[in-house]
Structure 1
Amino acid sequence: MDQQRSAAPQRPASRLAVGVVSAGRVGSVVGAALTRAGHRVVAASAVSDASRARAARHLPGAEILPAPDVAAAAELVLIAVPDDAIAPLVASLPVRPGQIWVHTSGALGADVLRSARDAGALTAALAPAMTFTGRDEDLERLAGISWAITGEAEARFVGEALVLEMGGDPEHVDEADRARYHAALVYAANHLQTLVNDAAEQLRAIGVANPQRLLSPLVSASLDNALRHGDAGLTGPVSRGDAGTVARHLDALAGTGIEDVYRTMARRTAERALASGRLKSADAEGLLEVLAQPEKEETP
């Protein structure tokens, strides 16, 4: 890998004129990161008032133009639009041979930029493994994160150079693996949000005034345990095979809307605990009986 990196094209070493299509939550922040790396965002498309405000805040030197004019003005075209819009948008924009075209979708590879590649551009998928909320801290969170890079050899090396310039860590992901890669990120990040917010809602319902403050140390420690120790960091009633406690949980959650989610996650936790040796088979029997999906009564 070191030999490959040393042989990478030096194209990004010369400062590039960047065009951002469009200045949404992701595009505006990645454009700002490229500016910090020494490139120049010369143009951006921004249709909504929110996008225009983000462009003014993060891309103050950029001229606000229609998307075709942004592409025409740029050496590096950054596509940051919803996944389903990328291919038809790129097919509608002007392309110059020698331009660099990248998009920020986590789920899609470089093939979605095929029309630009066929017109002579270098194309790569360049997706930051980060969540974007539209707040000012989004830019600071980019430091040191991983970026999934997909593309043919030269374009991949250029993408790697851009990521390194932005202070990121390149992670090469094959075209065929992009959906699975993105599913893993969504499973961890978005579903974690739902789990924590569901838990906070249950605490609020029983009178806890500030459930976020209560949960923060516990959830932070659990996340740290998972990232540091994997399945060895698992604690709680499922890892102990405490069927009685889990049964009481299910009774307490009946009618709340999350009983089935709790049951599903507890079963998956039990499977991982069994596979890792945290939960003994003898202790799992009663637990799995409790977690079995109850049979629905037949309607007469």
Structure 2
Amino acid sequence: MRPGRLGVGVIGAGRVGAVLGAALRAVGHSVVGVSAISEQSRDRAAALLPGVPLLEPAEIVERCELVVLAVPDDDLVPLVRGLAELDHWQTGQIVLHTSGRHGIAALAPAAARGAVCLAVHPVLAFTGMSLDLARLTGAMVAVTAPAAFLPIAQALVVEMGAEPVVLSEEDFPVVGGILARVREDVDRSTRQALRRLAEADVEDPARMAGPLVRAVLENALAAGPERPATGLAPPDSPIE
């Protein structure tokens, strides 16, 4: 490894964890182990992190200098607390979580044992496949950490090809919640439209709706938050 490279462990080989592990590995860090419970997660780990052994979370914490916690939002706090109760966290160890719901307060039990705690939330809709590595390049990533540790979070994000955006501890979960709502609303409305087109016997719903959906999103993003709607006719209006 090049100087400054870290031994990385990934707890949670979901769509986010496996991709971030692969991104860190691509820039020279060594992925020491990955924790994966479901068969789907194990398959994803094998595809994105070939050759990396499957380990228990406690083993990963004991062996790694950088621990990436990419578990569901509801599991994060109990996991960190449980590992602290078993006295696994180490002084100087970097602990990074990817949840948009929590700031660094979720990592308090690790911080109390001297760990360097970072909250790093990529603003992406992950598929858990290799194409996410290309999407990560240039993507925005929300970060928060104690002031002394912010450069570490920013450096890790930049290494993965993304762009860090520093948020306060208070704003981090607020922004994360807004972005989660955007993702859910766009996904739900698009899928609903595709189902209705299919029910109307449209042969290729995605091909028909795709240009419209992409144009509406691009127009809304270009217009910005202060401008009114772009003049699209409402759904029940005749097409001019």
Q: When the two structures are superposed, what TM-score results if normalisation uses the length of structure 2?
A: 0.90
Q: Counterpart of 1:77?
A: 67
Q: Counterpart of 1:17?
A: 7
Residues 107-126 of structure 1 mapped to structure 2, 5 A cutoff: 107-126=101-120
Tell me, yes or no, if the aligned pair for 1:142 and 1:168 is still in contact at 8 Å.
Answer: yes
Tell me, yes or no, if the aligned pair for 1:226 and 1:233 is still in contact at 8 Å.
Answer: yes
Extract unaligned runs of 5+ from structure 1: 1-11, 249-300
1:149-183 CA-to-partner distances (Å, cap 9, x unmatched) read 01101222100000011111001111112232022
Q: Counterpart of 2:52?
A: 62
Structure 1's 52 and 201: CA in aligned 2 closer, same or farther, altered over 3 A? Answer: closer
Cα distance, 1:13 vs structure 2: 6.4
For residues 71 and 26 of structure 1, what CA distance do their matches in structure 2 show?
19
For residues 83 and 49 of structure 1, what CA distance do their matches in structure 2 show?
20
**Does 2:208 correspond to 1:214?**
yes
Cα distance, 1:233 vs structure 2: 6.1
Mean CA deviation greater in 79-88 or 158-167: 79-88
SS of 1:106's partner is coil
Residues 66-105 of structure 1 mapped to structure 2, 5 A cutoff: 66-93=56-83, 94-105=88-99
Which structure has more RCO (C-alpha within 8 Å, separation ≥ 6)? Answer: 2
1:103-144 CA-to-partner distances (Å, cap 9, x unmatched) read 010121011000000000110101110111233322221111
RMSD, aligned α-carbons: 1.9
Q: When the two structures are superposed, what TM-score results if normalisation uses the length of structure 1?
A: 0.73
Q: Return the match for 2:220 from 222, 226, 230.
A: 226
Aligned residue type for 1:35: R
SS of 2:177's partner is helix
Q: Return the match for 1:142 from 136, 153, 162.
A: 136
Cα distance, 1:74 vs structure 2: 0.3
Hey, which of these two has a bigger chunk of helix by percent? 1
Tell me, yes or no, if the aligned pair for 2:97 and 2:118 is still in contact at 8 Å.
Answer: yes
Structure 1's 187 and 84: CA in aligned 2 closer, same or farther, altered over 3 A? Answer: closer
Q: Counterpart of 2:178?
A: 184
Q: Counterpart of 1:30?
A: 20
Structure 1's 14 and 61: CA in aligned 2 closer, same or farther, altered over 3 A? Answer: farther
Residues 42-61 of structure 1 mapped to structure 2, 5 A cutoff: 42-61=32-51
Structure with bigger gyration radius = 1
SS of 2:25's partner is helix
Aligned residue type for 1:191: D
Q: Counterpart of 1:294?
A: none
SS of 1:237's partner is coil
Tell me, yes or no, if the aligned pair for 2:94 and 2:116 is still in contact at 8 Å.
Answer: yes
Q: Counterpart of 1:106?
A: 100
For residues 13 and 151 of structure 1, what CA distance do their matches in structure 2 show?
24
For residues 210 and 33 of structure 1, what CA distance do their matches in structure 2 show?
35
For residues 208 and 176 of structure 1, what CA distance do their matches in structure 2 show?
47
Mean CA deviation greater in 216-225 or 161-170: 216-225
Tell me, yes or no, if the aligned pair for 1:21 and 1:44 is still in contact at 8 Å.
Answer: yes
Q: Counterpart of 2:231?
A: 235
Cα distance, 1:194 vs structure 2: 1.0
How many residues were matched structurally?
A: 231
**Does 2:127 correspond to 1:127?**
no
SS of 2:203's partner is coil
Tell me, yes or no, if the aligned pair for 1:41 and 1:61 is still in contact at 8 Å.
Answer: no
Tell me, yes or no, if the aligned pair for 2:19 and 2:129 is still in contact at 8 Å.
Answer: no
Aligned residue type for 1:234: T
